[in-house]
Structures are given as C-alpha cells and as structure tokens.
Amino acid sequence: MDSFNKKPLIFLNRIEISDKNCIKLFFRDGEQIIQRIKNNEWIMFNIKLDIYYAVEQSNTIGILIELFEDIARVSLEYLNYIPPKKITVKEQIIGKGFNPDILKKRQNLNPVTLIPFEINGTDFIGMRYRFSKDDFWKLKNDPIIAWNNMHKAWVFKSSRTNLMHLFKLLTDKYLIKVSVSLQISDVEIRQHLMEQVYEKDRFFKPSPKAYLEYMNLHNYSWNTISTYHNLLLRFINTFRTKSLSQVNKFGVNEIDEYHNGMIQRKGVSPSLINQSVNALKLYYRVVVGVEIDTSEIERPKKANTLPQVYGVEQIQKIVRNINNEKHKAIIFLIYSSGLRISETINLQINDLLFDRGLVQVRNGKGMKDRLTILSEKAAQITKQYIRSYCPDYYLFEGQYGDKYSTTSIRRILDKAIKKAMVPKKGGPHILRHSFATHLLENGTDLRYIQALLGHRSSKTTEIYTHVSTRHLAGIKSPGDFLEI
C-alpha cells in the first residue's frame, strides 16, 4: 500500500486540440514516465501548449492506465475538468446614484452659425446655409428675413426681436450658433442658446432667469455663466417629479446626496463637484434667498495633480509638423508667449508690440490686462503670416473676418501632435504649462513667470517648481551607489 502511494501521479484531462478530442497527461516528476512516453509514439507533445497528449479513442483511457500501472498512479479526478473562462473586468456602480443622462440632448441637429456684419452702415445678422426646399421657401416668404445676393447669405436687421423671431422659425430642426464676434448681453437670448440643445418634455425645468440676470449684471464671464447654468440645470432636472418650489426648499442633506450620486459615476472629477457646489450656493443665495453654509457641504478632496508639459524637443517636433503659416503662428505664439486660448483669439494686430518684443493681453482672466514676451522667432513667424493673410482687425481671423474659433485651434494642435508622433497630453493649455516650466528650467525668477502668466497668486505659479526637472536631474539616485 505504501509503495503504491509513493508512485507519482498522472492526471488525465479531456482537451480539444485542432478540432480533435484528446487526452492531456499532466504530471510533475517522473523521468520514467517521460521515457515511457518516448517509447510510445502515439503519445505526442504540443510545443505551443507545452503538454503531452493522445488522440482519444474508445479505449485510450484504459490503455494509458495499463501503460503506466507499474510506475505511476493514473487519476481520472480531473478527466472532465474545464478551466475557468478568463474574466474580463467591467467597471460597475453599486449603490444609489443619479442618471447621468437626465438631460437628454436633441439628436441630428444641423448647426447654423449667425454672423454679424454691416450693409450700407446698417447692422445685419446673416447666415450661410443650404436649407432644405421646405425651409428655403419658409425663409423666402418670411417678412423679416431676406436673401442677399451680393453676400450670398440670408440676412435680417440686427435686433432682439428679429433674433427671437429667427429662433422660433428654425430651432425645431437646427442648432443656432453665434459667431464669437456677435456679443449677446440679452439674458433671454443667452438662455435660449444654452437650452436649445435639450429635449423639453413636461418635466423639464428651465433655469430661472433671475439666476442668469444676476451673473450677467455682475460681469461673470461667458464661460462661467455657461458652466454654472449647465450645473444648475442638471441639478434641478435630476428631481424630475418635484416642482421647482420643492427643489428650492432643499438643504445641505439633499445637496450632499445629489453630489454623492455624481461621485459614484465614472468621469466626474472633484473639481466639477466643487464647481457644482459653488453654482448651487450662488443659486440659493441670489434666487431663493437662502444662504447655504458650504462648510457643512461635503466636498471631495481635490487631487494634487501636477500639470502635464511637453519637453523642448517635443514642442519643436509639434511646430515643425505644422505647414500652414497661420496655424504655425497660432500654436507657436501660444507656447512662446504663454497665452491662454481665449487670449489668443482676442488678440488684435496692434497688440503685438514688435519694437519692444512684447504682447499686450487685454481683458485676460479676471478682466486684467498684462504684458508678456514676444520672442524673436514668434515675431518672424507672425510677421510672415500677416504679410500672407493680411488680417483686418483680429490677429487671427475666422472664416468671416471674426475671431478665430477655439475649436479650430484644438484641431490644429491635435493634428500636429499626431503627425509629430508625440504622446497627447491635453489641449492648447499644455503649451502654456510648457512655457512656464521651460522658463523656470532656464533660470527665470518665479516672480517674473507669475507676471507673464497673469497669475493673481504666487501659489498658482509655484506648482511649476514641482514639474521642473532642472534640479532633479542633478540628484544622484541611491541605486547608482550599489554594485550589482
């Protein structure tokens, strides 16, 4: 009995190889077993699977038991064992959350852009779009809108009434967009532009106009108004079956519950939660008349992440892979002067002070003016662009002589990054981060970098000291002291 138990084990397992039913032999130790196998050519070895096997016939198992009976124990315990299928991990959410698509966007809307211009001293708004036959005749017979053959555009006199008339006429099928040169201060028109993208069923609650009026009156930027409006809209529409007056009675507990639901969803950053808290605090204060104590609201801790930057060689590759003079001037100026994308599209030709090597930034973030550097190479590239393109007012003009679009700048950079075969680290703002980091690595004082970037606080600029590798490169790793 003891000698039997001391024999090595051979496990048999059914397996399919090349569409044939086979018997796999699995064992750990046994030179005798391997020698016995070599003497029986009908037992084969599969290099890919690293196993010995035999094609299964009606008597294969019996023959294998008899073949190894004197030197090993043959076990049928795992004869029909099926290995577990590989698990593919899929992210899931368990717990209470809010539907991320509570605001449904209308699909398949055709964008129509409104362009402001002048005809014989009168302000007009125009649109160039090839409308369907039905819509063509609707516009043709409209008493306000007319076809202008000289400009090849549908036009109407610039006024609030005419603009609202156009919205009623077209927004059932079209997404009305406005050129960046068409400044809209009317709150109702702004609200229409922001909310036209959503499906409006009987549960839809629009943003209270007083909320937008307050931000407009207190000179909030267009980006902040849009962000706060969107965050408020999502909040009040999450509670579909509750009226706005019921939502207005919410307190800290309901706001916390809502944000906890947001956190459970993938892709919601701590900064977005904090923006939402600020938007709701402002709403309850200026519209409802209730001061929410934000110290009682749970805020997620913001991750202490460092800004992404490109190396000098990567920036060089990106710029070299832009052939268009205008595109190259835009991207190189953003990097070499540390500009924000919004500051770039607002530049006028006379903002480039070529004789002083400076760029005048007007109404930057926080409504502040500042000066930043204009490199000699940027001046050369930009002068060449100006000679070739002859911009009239804005340094970088769009299709109709208005401001260049931020979307187009992002596309230019994305295309250049792809051609340069460098890893994408973000949008145009990464060029600004790279500008600051490269200045610091070249020994520029942090106070000057703060002024060039237009940072209000030095703490904002200090983050680049953590990104700079100038001093890190000189530190010797303890791993280099080992003899291995």
What is the DSSP track for 349-388?
Answer: GGGEETTTTEEEE-S-TTS--EEEE--HHHHHHHHHHHHH
**Stretch 38-67: mean pLDDT, rounded?**
92
259, 328, 403, 432: the catalytic one is 432
What was the pLDDT predicted at 185? 82
* CB contact at 8 A, 325 and 388: yes
* CB contact at 8 A, 150 and 112: no
Q: Which two tokens stand for residue 375?
A: 């490199």
What was the pLDDT predicted at 30? 78
13: β partners: 24
Residue 432: pLDDT over 80: yes
Task: Name the residue ranges covered by the structural domains of the chain.
Answer: 2-75, 110-184, 197-303, 312-467
CA distance 335 to 431: 5
What was the pLDDT predicted at 94? 54
What was the pLDDT predicted at 367? 65
What was the pLDDT predicted at 272? 85
464, 466, 471, 476: the catalytic one is 464
Question: For the chain, how long is the longest CA-to-CA vector?
Answer: 113
Residue 67: pLDDT over 90: yes
CATH class of segment(s) 197-303: mainly alpha
- Looking at per-residue confidence, does 225 or 472 come out higher? 225
What was the pLDDT predicted at 266? 56
What was the pLDDT predicted at 28? 82
Question: What beta strand segments (E) does 18-109 contain?
Answer: 20-26, 44-46, 51-55, 73-75
Residue 74: pLDDT over 80: yes
Q: HSE of 1 in the Cβ direction (CA atoms, 13 Å)?
A: 0
Residue 22: pLDDT over 90: yes
Residue 9: pLDDT over 70: yes
What was the pLDDT predicted at 474? 56
List phi, psi (to 5°) of 228.
Answer: -65, -40
365, 370, 419, 425: the catalytic one is 365
Lowest mean pLDDT among 25-29, 205-209, 276-280: 25-29
Active site residue 429: yes
Residue 92: pLDDT over 90: no
Residue 254: pLDDT over 80: yes
pTM higher than 0.75, yes or no?
A: no
326, 340, 403, 433: the catalytic one is 340
User: Confidence class of residue 439 from pLDDT cuts 50, 70 and 90?
Assistant: confident
Give pLDDT tens digits for 272-299.
888 999 999 999 999 999 888 777 777 7
What was the pLDDT predicted at 228? 95
Active site residue 28: no
* CB contact at 8 A, 64 and 74: yes
Task: Name the residue among 428, 446, 401, 442 with its Cα closest to residue 332.
Answer: 428
Given the DSSP bridges, would you call strands 146-148 and 122-127 parallel, antiparallel or unpaired? unpaired
User: Confidence class of residue 267 from pLDDT cuts 50, 70 and 90?
Assistant: low
**Stretch 163-176: mean pLDDT, rounded?**
90
Highest mean pLDDT: which of 196-205, 323-332, 365-374, 421-430? 323-332
* CB contact at 8 A, 336 and 316: no
Active site residue 6: no
Domain 312-467, CATH: 1.10.443.10
Q: What is the DSSP string of 240-253?
A: TTS-HHHHTT--HH
**Stretch 357-361: mean pLDDT, rounded?**
90
Q: Which two tokens stand for residue 443?
A: 């020994």
What was the pLDDT predicted at 484? 62
Architecture of the CATH domain 2-75: 2-Layer Sandwich (3.30)
**Stretch 250-272: mean pLDDT, rounded?**
80
Q: What is the DSSP string of 150-171?
A: TTTEEEEE--HHHHHHHHHHHT
CA distance 467 to 464: 5
User: Confidence class of residue 308 from pLDDT cuts 50, 70 and 90?
Assistant: confident
Active site residue 438: no
Active site residue 340: yes
Q: What is the mean pLDDT of the chain?
A: 85
**Stretch 356-369: mean pLDDT, rounded?**
80
Q: What is the DSSP string of 341-357?
A: HHHHHH-BGGGEETTTT
Note the helical H segments in 203-297.
209-217, 222-238, 244-247, 252-263, 270-283
Sign of the Cα torsion 224, 225, 228, 231 reads negative
Residue 475: pLDDT over 70: no
Burial of 189 (0-12, 13-18, 19+ CB in 10 A): middle
Which residue has tokens 């680049």? Answer: 464
What was the pLDDT predicted at 241? 86
Give pLDDT tens digits for 460-474.
666 666 665 555 555
Task: Name the residue among 208, 468, 432 with its Cα closest to residue 332.
Answer: 432
Give pLDDT tens digits for 95-153.
555 545 578 888 888 889 898 888 889 999 999 888 989 999 999 999 999 999 988 89
26: β partners: 11
Give pLDDT tens digits for 183-195.
888 889 999 999 9
